[in-house]
Structure 1
Amino acid sequence: MSRFVISDRQPARAGIITWQLTQTFWVGGLWLLQFMVLPALGRIGLAPLLVEEIAGSLKPLLVGFAAFCSALQALVLVQVTGLRGLWRDVRGQLLLAVVVLAGSQLLMQAGWFESLYWASFSYLVMALCGLMLVLQPAPGREL
C-alpha cells in the first residue's frame, strides 16, 4: 500500500453523482412547484381556475418524474448497500414510501379510485419524504 492512498476502497462516484442529481431534480421540483411557482402565478394575477389548470397538468408529470427518480435512487442504494439496505436503511424506507405514494396518486389520476384530499396529501408527504432524504448522506458517503 502506498503512503498516498487515502483509503482502501473508493466509493462509487457515479452512484453518488446519480443520487445527488436525481434527488436535486425531483425534491427540488416538488418544492419549487408547490411553494414557489403556483403561489407566484396566483400572486401575479392569473385567474384561480387557470392556476388550478396549470397545477392539474404539471403535478402528475412531476409525480411521475419523482417516482422514476426515486426508483433510480433505490437502485443506487441497492448497488451500494445491498437489497437489505433498501428495507433497513432510512433512505430506502423513504424512497419506498415515495414510490408507493407516487404510484397511488398516479392510479388516482387514472381513475382507479376517487378521493378529494388524497392528491394533496400524497404530494405533500412525498415532498416531506424528499426533504428528509436530503438530510441523509448519499450512499457511499457515510461517516
Structure 2
Amino acid sequence: MTAGAPRPMLHGSRVAWQLTQTLWVGAIWVTHFVLMPALEQFGMAPMLIEAIGNFMRPLMVGFAGVCALLQLLIIAVAPGVRFWRDLRTQLLLLVMICVAALFGLRQVPGTEYVQIFGYLVIAFAGLVLVLQPRPDEG
C-alpha cells in the first residue's frame, strides 16, 4: 500500500456498522409498528398496553442512542469520509439529538405527543440511514 492511498475499512467495522444498524433500526420499527399494534389487536387492557409502551419505548430509544454513537465512531475513523458533510453523520446526529430530547422530556407532563413525534423522527432517520451505503462503500 502506498503512503497516499486510502486505507480500507476494517472488516470488524463493516460488521459492526451492519449489526448496529440492523439492531437499532429494526428494534425501533418492530416496537412501534408491530409489537404495540399487535398488543392492541389481542384485546389487552389499554392501561397494560400503555405500561408496556412506557417501558419499551425508552429502552429502544436508549439502545438506538448507543448504537448510533457507535456508528458515529465508525464514520469518524472511516477513511475518505468528510465527517460533517456526510449524510449518515447528519442522520446519526439527528438521532442523538432526538434521543437526548426524549430522555429530557420524559418527566415533563403533557409532552406525550412530542415524545411520539421524536420516536418517529428516530424511526424515519433510521430508515433513511438504512438506504445509505456503508462508509466503506461510498
Deviations 1:76-95 (A, max 9, x none): 0001047x733100000000
Q: Does 1:104 align with 2:92?
A: no
CA distance in 2, matches of 1:43, 1:22: 30
Query: Is the 8 Å Cα contact of residues 70 and 95 (structure 1) preserved in structure 2?
Result: yes
| Aligned equivalent of 2:121 | 125
Match of 2:70 in 1: 72
- For residues 52-99 of structure 1, the C-alpha deviation after alignment (integer angstroms, 9 at most, x for no partner) is 1100011001101100100000000001047x7331000000000000
Contiguous gaps of at least 5 residues in structure 2: none
Q: Please, which runs of 5 or more residues in structure 1 have no aligned partner?
A: 2-7
Q: Which residue of 1 aligns with 2:42?
A: 44
**Structure-2-length-normalised TM-score:** 0.90
Count the aligned residue pairs. Answer: 135
RMSD: 2.1
- Code of the residue aligned with 2:82 in structure 1: it is G
State whether structure 2 residue 91 is matched by structure 1 residue 94.
yes
State the AA in 2 paired with 1:125.
Answer: V
Query: For residues 11-31 of structure 1, what are the alpha-carbon distances to aligned partners after superposition, in whole Å with 9 as ceiling and x for unaligned?
Result: 321111101100011000000
Give every structure 1 segment of 4 or more consecutive aligned residues whose post-TM-superposition deviation is greater than 6 Å.
none
